[in-house]
Structure 1
Amino acid sequence: MSIQEQSGTRRVAVLVAMEGIEQVELTGPWKALEEAGWEPVLVAPETGEVQAFDHLDAADTFPVDTTIADASPEDFAGLVLPGGVANPDALRLDAAAVGFVREAVAADRPVAAICHAIWMLVEADVLRGRRVTSWPSLQTDVRNAGGTWVDEEVVRDGRLVTSRKPDDLPAFNAALLDLLADG
């Protein structure tokens, strides 16, 4: 039985802070999920709208579907963590968000993180013994958290998919969808 059948859902949580999300790292996976028949759900610390960025420039806003307080990893077939420097840097200070990530990994849910989103996995202390990638400047953080950092477009380690940067989105999205399809 696949994870989506176990959970009774094809919903995938997309966990973000209220601002600083790299827009393409939110919209690229979101579109890929929708096109593959999944229902992405924007999960954030507060209700309202989140502010995405195109690098350092404010871009679009997106409505929050549910708050972290009102969600549980059990409600979703998987978890996507978009990057942007400010997004995971703010989110990792939110104990509920860190707990959400830790619970998703502990429950063996598919988890996909791109670019700076690896910080959420570092903060949740779930990288020990794992092989991952991220934005290159974070390799020391990964190693200090017990992970093995590699410079590859996309890395899959069990139920975890990671990628380095927006240019890797096609490979990241394909790996995310494969991970979800594997249940």
Structure 2
Amino acid sequence: MLQGKTIAFLVATEGIEQIELTEPWLAVERAGGTPRLISTEAGEVQAFNHLDRADRFKVDATVDEVSADDFDGLVLPGGVANPDALRLDEKAVRFARSFFDDGKPVAAICHAPWTLIEAGVVGDRAMTSWPSLRTDLTNAGASWVDQEVMVCANGPNKLITSRRPDDLKAFCQAAMDAFGA
């Protein structure tokens, strides 16, 4: 159970894979936690269903307004454009890295590990991702595995990673277990 726990969902202004945002969000709510949408800009963000525009979501706060101290864990949804934009935003990268500095669990799916590579936190970690990130993760010092979910506790925190939307059930379960611990 996540009663009394608040989980940050860090996204860019667009390019978020909608189901990779909404399914973990619902899992946090079902577990009794409070999800909060954090972005690089105030207002709304644009989600996508692969390459097609999907829904817009209201941002709860920007990375300028919060810190890891405000949260019990972090979810990084994928989509190609979302983590690509986040890794270019110094404040977003610093926010993601701060969860590792504080020893708090982080869950990243699909292309989201790009942000973690930029944050310099994947070395010596076992991870999975969308297959095209394999070389990027390996070059950054991670050990890449091809499985639906990977929970790595080799480091200051638990890191939960998954490959794709088809893995969301296992991803959400592993993330809720880590956030509830």
TM-score tier by shorter-chain length is: over 0.9
1:7-38 alpha-carbon deviations (Å, 9 max, x no partner): xx511000000000000000000000000001
What's 2:163 paired with? 164
TM-score with structure 2 length normalisation?
0.95
CA distance, structure 1, for counterparts of residue 42 and residue 116 of structure 2: 24
Higher helix content, 1 or 2: 1
Identity %: 58
1:51-101 alpha-carbon deviations (Å, 9 max, x no partner): 000000000000000000001011000000000000000111000000011
1:103-153 alpha-carbon deviations (Å, 9 max, x no partner): 111111110000000101111010110000000010000001100000010
CA distance, structure 2, for counterparts of residue 84 and residue 70 of structure 1: 24
What's 1:26 paired with? 21
Of residues 132, 135, 143, the one that matches 1:140 is 135
Uncovered stretches (5+) of structure 2, i.e. residues with no partner: none
Secondary structure at the counterpart of residue 123 of structure 2: coil
Of residues 58, 62, 66, the one that matches 2:61 is 66
The alignment yields a C-alpha RMSD, in angstroms, of: 1.1
Uncovered stretches (5+) of structure 1, i.e. residues with no partner: none
Could you list the structure 1 runs, at least 4 aligned residues long, displaced by more than 6 angstroms after superposition: none
The alignment status of 1:36 with 2:35, answered yes or no, reads: no
CA distance, structure 2, for counterparts of residue 142 and residue 126 of structure 1: 10
CA distance, structure 2, for counterparts of residue 26 and residue 96 of structure 1: 20
1:156-176 alpha-carbon deviations (Å, 9 max, x no partner): 001100000000000000000
Q: 1:49-64 residue pairs with structure 2 within 5 A?
A: 49-64=44-59
Number of equivalenced pairs = 176
The alignment status of 1:10 with 2:10, answered yes or no, reads: no
Secondary structure at the counterpart of residue 69 of structure 1: coil
What's 1:123 paired with? 118
